[in-house]
Amino acid sequence: MSKNLIKKYNVPGPRYTSYPTVPFWDHNSFSLKLWKQSLQQSFKESNTSEGVSLYIHLPFCESLCTFCGCNKRITKRHEVESPYITAVLKEWDLYCELFDAKPIIKELHLGGGTPTFFAPINLKRLINGITRKAILAKNYEFSFEGHPNNTTKAHLLALYNLGFRRVSFGVQDYNETVQKAIHRIQPFENVKNVTEMAREIGFTSIGHDIIFGLPFQTADHIRETIAKTRQLKPDRIAFYSYAHTPWIKGNGQRGFSKVNLPKAEEKRLQYEIGKALLADAGYSEIGMDHFALPTDTLYAAMANQELHRNFMGYTASKTQMMIGLGVSAISDSWYGFSQNVKGIEEYYHLIEHNIIPVFRGHILNKEDLVIRQHILNLMCHYKTSWSNSYLNFKSLDDALNKLSEMLKDELVVIENNTLKITKKGKPFVRNVCMAFDVLLQQKQPQKQLFSMTI
């Protein structure tokens, strides 16, 4: 990739797991009443045809990883598990009371934090409590994030018996210097053991998460990490950019200096090297930052133009509604977003008083819905069209004008009311989406809200 292009387009920008993005939600027009109404509307429209997705946030970790931007609570006290599960199940009850039928669960994901902080018996209690109030879709998918250092055979067996078939393990990087900097020490043998154990038990989709742009990381470290990853041949790989946002994430990302991070050109080189090595190993690039073998469901979703993106990232299971349970979890009714309170004590207090524990959100207007669809099309399929009148919007001409430089640089092509991102332009998909982002253009934030796009 040209250094001039990196310099030109490496700007702060959203990762577009939603539109509008969280910093531009209109909290003043949001209310719990409107949020419930949007859920009920979406449920009636989509439950029987698509089902619903569930994201459950399990925030506890025994130690702090300094690269992590997730909402977490560091503790070694495992007595916190039971009351938290009690609260999550009660929150699920509050949502189920809104609906006139049992939710049909298409997809369920346990994220964190560290889901495998929880004992297998408590995870069993959680999942059984969720499914007791629901119906499982014919081709449902349960997945979880596992820490290679503490995911045991008992965890894997318990979750497999509950219907889980997909697991992702956080690898990040195998170099010891990098691991020390991010406070995530895990030898290759730990990852190897847990990957092989999951495969032997019967998990059909095993993922590894790898990060580039970490402190002290070099191109040679990427080569080493990919080489070891090839030995284990996970079904899918998330190979994504470290987002250095200490002004948002607080002290967790202040364990090293910005000068320890690779420069933009070096960071992009790391990605290009990793991408080439993964392609050589038989992986196909899926959307942004994801790779999968042809046998994985994510690859099939891309091939069939069914790839979807939401707050859980890329998914092969498209549902209109996604309910987030637990502290800081984000929900999506398609017509609106909401986020739960971030403090565990406040979360418990609201749940005790039978209040769905959201603290902010956004109800989408007609223009939001149209722009959302364009950005979703670009992020999943690298193209979008406004041939149908309902996908036109007031600021479309302005958005296309903002793409003039990208047209000159051959990053996009526009013809017959259709925009396509070229092969050369794929690394800049976030920049293309930014041209459609009316709220980003209107607000022009004075302080940096997002990580760099390259």
**Contact by Cβ (8 Å): 287, 238:** no
Tokens of 166: 């997909």
CA 332-287-291 angle, 5° bins: 115
Binding site residues for [4Fe-4S] cluster, as ranges?
Answer: 61, 65, 68
CA 111-117-118 angle, 5° bins: 90
Work out whether strand 104-112 and strand 236-241 pair parallel, antiparallel, or are unpaired: unpaired
Binding site residues, as ranges?
Answer: 55, 61, 65, 67-69, 112-114, 145, 172, 184, 209, 243, 330
Q: How far apart are CA 45 and CA 38, in angstroms?
A: 11
Residue that has been written with the tokens 């990427």 in this structure? 222
Q: What is the DSSP string of 397-432?
A: HHHHHTTHHHHHTTSEEEETTEEEE-TTTGGGHHHH
**Residues near 423 by Cβ (< 8 Å), separated by ≥ 6?**
none
User: What kind and span of H or E run contains 382?
Assistant: none
Work out whether strand 418-421 and strand 383-385 pair parallel, antiparallel, or are unpaired: antiparallel
3-state SS class at 259? helix
Q: Could you tell me which of 98, 131, 93, 108 has the C-alpha nearest to residue 58?
A: 108
Tokens of 156: 């894997």
Count CB-CB contacts under 10 A for residue 108. Answer: 26
Tokens of 185: 């020490």
CA atoms within 13 A on the CB side of 6: 13
* DSSP conformational letter for 263: P
Binding site residues for S-adenosyl-L-methionine, as ranges?
Answer: 55, 67-69, 112-114, 145, 172, 184, 209, 243, 330
